[in-house]
Structure 1
Amino acid sequence: MDICYLWNKLGQFTRNYTQTTKRGLLTTNKG
């Protein structure tokens, strides 16, 4: 198993998840 590859995927997933969560919170606050 390639650790670097796994960490890269994990980082991308975390970044996407954080962006989506922030967007959801902003939308909720506006509403």
Structure 2
Amino acid sequence: MERWLWVLYIIIATCVIAALGLYVLLVAHVIDTY
């Protein structure tokens, strides 16, 4: 059961990191545009 918890945690962490990365790229693009 702990294995599923670790897998879920890793998936959530990956999604959060990906979202933050896209957000940073979007902000950088907007800053470069202006």
Q: TM-score, normalised to structure 1's length?
A: 0.90
If you compute each CA radius of gyration, which structure gives the higher value, 1 or 2? Answer: 2
Mapped partners of 2:29, 2:8: distance in 1: 32
The alignment yields a C-alpha RMSD, in angstroms, of 0.9
Gaps spanning 5+ residues in structure 2: where? none
Once the two structures are aligned, what percentage of the paired residues are identical? 0
**Using the alignment, how far apart are the partners of 2:33 and 2:16 within structure 1?**
26
Number of paired residues?
31
- Give TM-score, length-normalised by structure 2: 0.83
Gaps of 5+ in 1: none
